[in-house]
Amino acid sequence: MDLAYGKEYEAFRLEVRDFLAEHWLQGSREGNAPQATSDFRQTATDRGYLYRGVPKAYGGGEQPADALKAQVIREEFGRARAPMEVSGNGVSMLVPTLLERGEEWQKEKFIRKTILGEYQWAQGYSEPGSGSDLASLRTQGRLEGDEWVIDGQKIWTSQAQHCQFMFTLVRTEPEASKHAGISYLLVPLDQPGIEIKPLKMITGQSHFNEVFLNDARTPADWIVGERGEGWKVSKTTLKHERNAIGGGSQAIFESLMRLVGKATLDGRPALEDPSIRERIAALEAWVWAQKYTAYHQMTCGLQGKDPGIVTLLNKLLATDIGHEVAAVALELIGDASLKEPFAAAPDQRGDERWMNQFMGSLGNSIAGGTSNIQRNIIAERGLGLPREESTA
């Protein structure tokens, strides 16, 4: 066991620091205009710091897989508050899926613009009748000439109103069995056959939508994998989504600590309250358990070993920690919890913004597969308990 990165990586760290000192105005997001942000991303990609798994041919940083370098980059960019890769489904889910399963022309056409943030992607999986039982989905696709014609409805589609494209699961082989009848299609959203209706979320914002497909069209070759292979292809995507959500809770814990540091209870600093001290210490221990579990997984990844059941636990661990953060914050913000989190202008918002984390932590129990479904997976795949036939 050795938590030191070693000479090679410390040298690399210095290199990253020098790069950041030269190209990023340290610590001030505001001081860097949007254009500066995307220029910076381009420079950082050219240097091989971002999109390391994406070949240069598609605009990536193309570097040999090195989880430690990736970790050093995250740490240093985080410290300098420099922009990392563009966020969103495109980069976190579609790009890895295309890299694994896409046709050459699909990679060329979509990856570069996606990682530059020019193409944004919605994930069109869930339907009104198909959530946890996603494979029961009913949106139909049929090939007419050189086009897919799609009819049906997707729901809870995050950010669809701001996206140009959607990767979606569609039933194209009605005769085949449940899982074997699904294909993975890429669909342009700006077309007459598609209507996007924002849904107001529990927070009052409208981040997700209903997407109605009525005679919607997409070219015949905008399919990833073969016909009827969509379920398998989507597993690549879900795996990436789990990784994304299962990330560490250190950052949210640190913001909670900033709240604890300024909050008062009964007119005294909250930090003097033994019950709060006990609770945040318990929370920190939990975050450390998560953090070092992640280190262990990283080590196993580097050495080609199987870390075991913990990989299935990451999502629930992050979700549960998020719930406890929310519970502590609720205790501390007092009457601010009576306010709507987004009613005031952004620069006028106070502690009520924690109500967004309160809601968001709840959303994590649902989005990307519910906690119950995850528990099924842990029990059946992780612990080897018998599978329930009816849900296969």
Partner 1 sequence: MNFDLSDEQRLLQQTVDDYLKTESPLSRLREFYDSDQSIDPVIWKGLGELGILGVQLPEAYGGAGLELLDLACVAERIGYAAAPGPFLAHTIAALALSLAGSDEQKEKWLPQLATGERVATLAFAEPGALWQPEQWKLSPRDGRISGQKENVLAADSADVILVGLDQGELALVEASSDGVHFDPSSGLDRTQKTALVTFDDAICDPLPGGSGVSGRVRDAALVLLAADAYGGGQRCLELAVDYAGTREQFGRKIGQFQALKHQLANLALDIEPCRALAWYSAYAWDHIPEESARAAAHAKSHVTDRFTRVARGTVEAHGGIGYTWECEVHFWLKRAIFGRTFLGTPRVHRLRAADLAGW
**DSSP-derived secondary structure letter, 90:** I
φ and ψ of 141, to 5 deg: -130, 135
Q: Binding to ligand FAD by residue 206, rule CB under 6 A?
A: no
Among 220, 289, 327, 343, binds partner 1 (CB under 8 A): 289
Q: Which does 5 bind (CB under 5 to 8 A by kind): partner 1, ligand FAD, none?
A: partner 1
Among 112, 284, 323, 362, binds partner 1 (CB under 8 A): 284
Among 99, 116, 238, 373, binds ligand FAD (CB under 6 A): 373
- Give the three-class secondary structure for 288: helix
User: Distance between CA atoms of 182 and 338, rounded to whole angstroms?
Assistant: 45
Q: Which does 38 bind (CB under 5 to 8 A by kind): partner 1, ligand FAD, none?
A: none
Is 389 known to be catalytic?
A: no
Among 370, 378, 379, 382, binds ligand FAD (CB under 6 A): 370
The CB-of-265 to ligand FAD minimum distance in angstroms stands at 31
Long-range contacts of residues 333-336, Cβ cutoff 8 Å, at least 24 apart: 333/259, 333/263, 334/263
Q: What is the largest CA-CA distance in the chain?
A: 72
Burial (CB < 10 A; 0-12, 13-18, 19+), residue 54, is buried
Name, in order, each residue with C-beta under 8 angstroms of 322's C-beta and a sequence gap of 6 or more.
Answer: 249, 252, 357, 360, 361, 364
Q: Which amino acid is at 356?
A: N
Residues 255-274 that bind partner 1 (CB under 8 A): 257, 260, 271, 274
Q: Binding to partner 1 by residue 11, rule CB under 8 A?
A: no
- Cα Rg of the chain (Å, integer): 23
Residues 62-101 that bind ligand FAD (CB under 6 A): none
Residue 301 CB neighbour total at 10 angstroms: 14
Q: Which residues bind ligand FAD (CB under 6 A)?
A: 123-126, 131-132, 156-158, 208, 363, 366-370, 372-373, 376, 391
Catalytically active residues, by annotation: 241
Query: Site residues (CB under 8 A) for partner 1?
Result: 1-6, 9, 68, 71, 257, 260, 271, 274, 277-278, 280-282, 284-286, 288-293, 295-296, 298-300, 302-303, 305, 308-310, 313, 316-317, 320, 372, 374-376, 378-380, 382-386, 388
